[in-house]
Amino acid sequence: MIALLTRDLRLALRAGGGFGLGLAFFLILTVLVPFSVGPQSALLAVIAPGVLWLGALLACLLSLDRLLALDWEDGTLDLLATAPLPLESVVTIKALAHWLTTGLPLVLVAPVLGILLNLPTPGYVWLVVSLLVGTPALSVIGTFGAALTVGLKRGGLLLSLLVLPMYVPTLIFGAEVARRGAEGMATSTPLLLLAGITAAVIALLPFASAAVLRVNLR
Amino acid sequence: MTQTSKLNSLWEYANPKKFLSTTERFLPGLWIVTALCLAVGLIWGFFFTGDDYKQGSTVKIIYLHVPAALMAINAWLMMLVTSLIWVVRRHHVSALAARAAAPVGAVFTLIALVTGAIWGQPMWGTWWEWDPRLTSFLILFLFYLGYIALWEAIEDPDTAADLTSVLCLVGSVFAILSRYAVNFWNQGLHQGASVFRAGAVTGTDTAEKVSNIYFYPLLICMIGFVLLFVALVFYRTGTEIRARRIKALQARERMSA
């Protein structure tokens, strides 16, 4: 399992373009927002938590089609499926690797981008906390979507159509934590619900992803 | 043996041939009853009930809106059940029925959304409001779109059936989750359940209940929509079965040629 994780991480770091792409996308999206809504800092402060959450979510989505497709093309997935490691844990490790290479950097960069959007000071902690709690759910749900569409030639757009509706609850609670935090309100209710979604998704969805992957590898 | 034969009877219809012959026997009558129910319900509703004292004649959109919304949710529920049957028992008719129901459900969802917007414009003063019910219906519509798109995208029918049924199962969980998440996210403008309610029948809380004048034609419309859905699904499933059969015949011909 560790070997698979380090392999995935190394591939993501060294095979050009995969790793920094999500971050660059997040940055560009954040820069584009003031261009589209205007540079008034009061307005930006209001929408900053939501925009940052949406940006992180889309950056996560962007890298999903590479998650399994590359391994599918060169046959690695077939080998992994016949390996003694159960496919459920393969999928979980894949999601973890995706989170480490995409989700975690997004979490770390988010406060910096918060400055660009004039995020109110109490919001920084809650933005980071909510992203830290919420992005694993995005990776796991995304892995399910990637497993569904892995055999398709033009799966990219379909992947977004399938995954984005499933991101709705995570986005609602995550952005709510960040918004309430920025306004100095109590955040524990949405944070607990967000954590609940993440925990449930990590516990249950790998089984669905593995089942779907088995169908696709048939 | 007699015990099990009764139990097996439902699964006999998993045989495509049996399914086709049975539905073909039922369908003409079903179409007639559906048309009758819709005609009676809609004409009664549109022309023979008075205008509401507050809403005027816009109240009559209820005869399309409520039944469509009812079937939008129940169509997904039916897809969930048939998907489960496909996953567990692998009856092809079941998977094809789920496939056949999806566009019908999507259209019902769209009807509910559009009629709601048409009603909401004069009543709420807005075509669209990010109300939990409206939002969750929009999300349901997106789930329908994703489901249909996945069916269309996969060439191998069995793989498609497998993947879409897992999507339907997982999607149901997320759809329900979204339903309650949007409740948390915004306060509602949409009225609560007002057609079937405990207490409404016995008349203890008549204030919130749809008046009886509107209720009976509405009930007939609801029955009409349910029958319409059943008829459409039977019809479309039959089409899917025949399409599958044509493909099999063509493949056999190619093999022998």
Q: Does A172 touch chain B (CB under 8 A)?
A: yes
The pLDDT tens digits for B123-145 are 777 888 888 888 889 999 999 99
d(CA B257, CA A184) in angstroms, rounded, equals 75
Q: Is the pLDDT of residue B4 over 60?
A: no
Portion of chain B with pLDDT greater than 70, in percent: 84
How far from A124 is each of A47, A114, B29, B50, B192, CA to CA, in Å?
14, 7, 65, 57, 38
Q: Does B166 touch chain A (CB under 8 A)?
A: yes
B174 and A165: CB-CB below 8 Å? yes
Average pLDDT, chain B: 83
The pLDDT-based confidence of A211 (bands split at 50, 70, 90) is very high
Using an 8 Å CB-CB cutoff, list chain B residues near A140. none
How far from B150 is each of A99, A149, B129, B154, CA to CA, in Å?
25, 8, 30, 6
Which one is predicted more confidently, B7 or A166?
A166
> Which of A158, A166, A176 is nearest residue B150 as measured by Cβ atoms?
A158
Residues in chain A: 218
d(CA A99, CA A199) in angstroms, rounded, equals 14
> Which of B139, B163, B166 is nearest residue A168 as measured by Cβ atoms?
B139
Segment A156-178 mean pLDDT: 90
In a 13 Å sphere around the CA of A73, the CA atoms on its Cβ side amount to 7
A151 and B154: CB-CB below 8 Å? yes
B184 and A151: CB-CB below 8 Å? no
A86 Rama class: left (phi>0) / alpha (psi -120 to 50) / beta: beta
Q: Is the pLDDT of residue B102 over 90?
A: yes
Segment B31-56 mean pLDDT: 82
**B 119-148 residues with CB < 8 A to A:** 139, 142-143, 145-146
A149 and B139: CB-CB below 8 Å? no
Using an 8 Å Cβ cutoff, are A178 and A53 in contact? Answer: yes
Question: Exposed/middle/buried for A126, CB within 10 Å: 0-12, 13-18, 19+?
Answer: buried
A162 and B167: CB-CB below 8 Å? yes
Q: Is the pLDDT of residue B202 over 50?
A: no
Q: Is the pLDDT of residue A13 over 90?
A: no
How many Å is the Cα radius of gyration of chain A? 18
DSSP line for A94-106: HHHHHIIIIIHHH
Nearest CA in chain A to B163: A212
Residues in chain B: 257
Cα dihedral across residues B135, B137, B142, B147: positive or negative: positive
Could you tell me the two tokens for B9?
Answer: 């009877």
> Which of B139, B150, B182 is nearest residue A162 as measured by Cβ atoms?
B150
Using an 8 Å CB-CB cutoff, list chain A residues near B146. 158, 161-162, 165
| Interface predicted TM-score of the whole assembly (ipTM), two decimals | 0.86
Question: Collapsing DSSP states into helix, strand and coil, what is residue B52?
Answer: strand
Report domain extents, chain A. Answer: 2-217
Q: Note the pLDDT of residue B126.
A: 80
Using an 8 Å Cβ cutoff, are B76 and B172 in contact? Answer: yes
How many inter-chain contacts (A to B, CB under 8 Å) are there? 75
Using an 8 Å CB-CB cutoff, list chain A residues near B142. 161, 164-165
Cα dihedral across residues B28, B33, B36, B38: positive or negative: negative
Using an 8 Å Cβ cutoff, are B117 and B141 in contact? Answer: no
B170 and A169: CB-CB below 8 Å? no
Q: Please name the amino acid found at residue B164.
A: T
Task: Output b/e per residue, B76-107; b: 16+ Cβ within 10 A.
Answer: bebbbebbbbbbeeebbbbbbbbbbbbbbbbb
Which one is predicted more confidently, B188 or A72?
A72
